[in-house]
Chain A
Amino acid sequence: MTSKLKTLLAALALATGGLASSQTLLNGSYDVAREFYKDYNAAFIAHYKKTTGKDVKIDQSHAGSSAVARSVADGLDADVVTMNTSTDVEFLANAGVVAKDWAKRFPGNASPTTSTMLFLVRNGNPKGIKDWDDLTKPGIQVIVVNPKTGGNGRYTYLAAWGYAKKKGATDAQAAEFVGKLYKNVPVLGKGGRDATTAFLQRNIGDVLVTFESEVVSVNKEFGEGKVDAVYPSISILAENPVAVVERTVAKKGTAVLAKAYLDYLYSDEGQEIAAKHAMRPYSQAILKKNAAVFKPIQLFTVQEMFGSLSEAQKVHFNDGGQFDKLYTVR
């Protein structure tokens, strides 16, 4: 009872601003980054104590990337957001809670880490899947995420489209290529974990297309040697953008702390932790150091292929867009 009262008082003190000696930071983030930020937070708290002598407490709030963005827009007091698609931060910028020029506030389009789409196949690769072309062959079952409900799914779709274009296809040919791929899809996952479950626990499909970082956690969860990772010749660069939530830091007086928290993501230590969790570090030196994990493949950015993610959203994923046509026009 008394401890409850104490926490209540502490919360009140924090809310009224600066009365308590230690500050609390809330990081709004996406589902699969939970483990990474658990490690990172511990490192940051130690670093902050050493450099400034101040104690901080960091809370995490995880859900689907855009679900977090929606709750922050609706009033969740997150100090920083760390997302897996730039459209989610874009949405917050349009809602006026994140700076309009958020992408220029930190290096590398404000993305301390990136990822890419890879294939997971059954042990020994019985169907001999090597590249995107193999996914469109008849008789191959592909597990992907629904682009309507998950960022993972949007990147898969865009990666396949971009691959076709890179190989010299016209827009019409690229559409046909992607259409063939989705004809081979027996189950559309709602989110990344959903698709992984269908592939590994329900034993459905020959290949799972998912984020590189998910591949590592699959090995952790289900044991090594059940599945193999296949690196296609070309894939997409998926940025994991971060931003300070200006509305919250103005209210809570945590602007300095929030900036320090995100800055430290770019430090060697932060980058190493990211690499350990199979997120491609921004630092080229650390990327090279971990070349065994991050095999070099040709990557294209959303910007060069589609202009921007919101542009791609309009053309491909909005209602009546290219993705809907795959299913409604036969």
Chain B
Amino acid sequence: MSALISGASSAGVALPQRASAKRTPQRVLPGFRLTLGYTVLYLSLIVLIPITALFFKTFTLTWEQFVFAVTSPRVMASYRLTFGASLIAALVNLVFGLLLAWVLVRYKFPGKKIVDALVDLPFALPTAVAGISLTALLAGNGWLGQYLEPMGIKLAFTPAGVVIALIFVGMPFVVRTVQPVLEDAEKELEEAATALGANRLQIFTKVIFPHIAPALLTGFAMAFARAIGEYGSVIFIAGNMPMISEITPLIIIGKLEQYDYAGATAVAVVMLVLSFVLLLVINALQTWQRRHTGASS
């Protein structure tokens, strides 16, 4: 638990903390006890108590019932789809989000402010609207779908559609975490590297990338976590076929429709634990990465 709190906070404000830690190793702000107390209380009220309630609801099941509820073939297939599609979507966002952030920070072009604002749209748009629009676009009679489907590319109502929807909702995370770090990067370092005879690839891999890697990983983790829980944008485009294109949140809704509260929460708990472990791994990776580059620079 404490690992999560420290991990999350260090992920969120990765850079300022590091910078201040360099200059002043001892605590600057007074009132540590008060702030810690507030942090724990607030987290308990908003996060821990609801999640505990979730766990308690599953305790009404026996162990056998629990295992049966969370390992039936349909549920297993939905885990594969949800986690697989989320991973692919987060990886795509990692690459293209970085590109987007790069362009927004390093170049000037007309309409840049508008493009910058557009990045936030997936945050603000109700996800169901996004799902419906994407479906309308990619379905066999949609603007894009009518050209793609004759070529044999079927996106709507397939797992590929799920990935596209998840890319859409996760896109701002990578851009918005990497952008400020890139802006912060000191141009002088690159100039020094050039003066010392480094080529562009070397500058990127040895100077820029280590600097932005923690932020990239944070953005990746957030895009991934967001995708796992995503429901609204996906159900319209997925086709929702059992064993093929059913996401885990839909399984949970299906169980609720059958008044199977305990079964629904059991699946939710499995999702929660799996994503928690994955986020911990990403956090650990981030810490390792920071230490690694911190030592080398």
Show the binding face of A for B, using Cβ within 8 Å: 64, 66-67, 69-70, 91, 146, 148-150, 185-190, 194, 201-204, 313, 317-320, 324, 327-328
Contact = CB atoms under 8 A, between A and B. Distances in A.
Interface string B241-262: 1110000001001111111100
Nearest to A69: B259
Interface stretch (B5-13, B83-91, B133-141, B272-280): B133-141
Contact of A319 (B69, B141, B243): B69
A328 B244 CA distance: 11
B127 interface: no
24 contacts: A64-B257, A66-B257, A66-B259, A67-B256, A67-B257, A91-B259, A148-B254, A149-B240, A149-B257, A186-B157, A187-B239, A187-B241, A202-B135, A202-B139, A202-B142, A202-B156, A203-B139, A204-B140, A204-B157, A318-B258, A319-B69, A319-B260, A320-B68, A328-B243
B253 to A, nearest CB: 6
A64 B256 CA distance: 11
A143 to B, nearest CB: 11
Contacts of A324: 72-74, 242
Majority secondary structure of chain A interface residues (helix, strand, loop or mixed): loop
8 A-B pairs with the lowest CB-CB distances in the bound complex, closest first: A148-B254, A327-B242, A202-B139, A328-B73, A203-B141, A187-B239, A188-B240, A149-B254
Contacts of B258: 148, 313, 317-318
Contacts of B172: none
B238 to A, nearest CB: 9
Interface string B144-180: 0000000000001100000000000000000000000
B236 interface: yes
A150 B256 CA distance: 11
B68 A319 contact: yes
B235 interface: yes
B253 A187 contact: no
Contact of B74 (A91, A190, A313, A328): A328
Contacts of A188: 239-242
A70 B256 CA distance: 9
B261 to A, nearest CB: 9
A223 B243 CA distance: 36
A324 B157 CA distance: 20
A148 B242 CA distance: 10
B219 interface: no
A281 to B, nearest CB: 28
A189 B241 CA distance: 9
Interface in B82-126: none
Among the interface residues A64, A187, A320, which one has the most CB atoms of the partner chain B within 10 A? A187
Contacts of B235: 190, 194
A187 B157 contact: yes
A186 B240 CA distance: 9
B263 interface: yes
Given A148-B254, A320-B72, A202 B141 contact: yes
A319 B257 contact: no
Instruction: Select the residue from A64, A148, A318 with max chain B CB neighbours within 10 A.
Output: A148
A159 B135 CA distance: 30
Contact of B136 (A201, A204, A319): A201
Given A204-B139, A204-B140, A70 B242 contact: no
Nearest to A324: B74
Contacts of B259: 66, 69-70, 91
A197 to B, nearest CB: 8
B14 to A, nearest CB: 39
Nearest to B139: A202
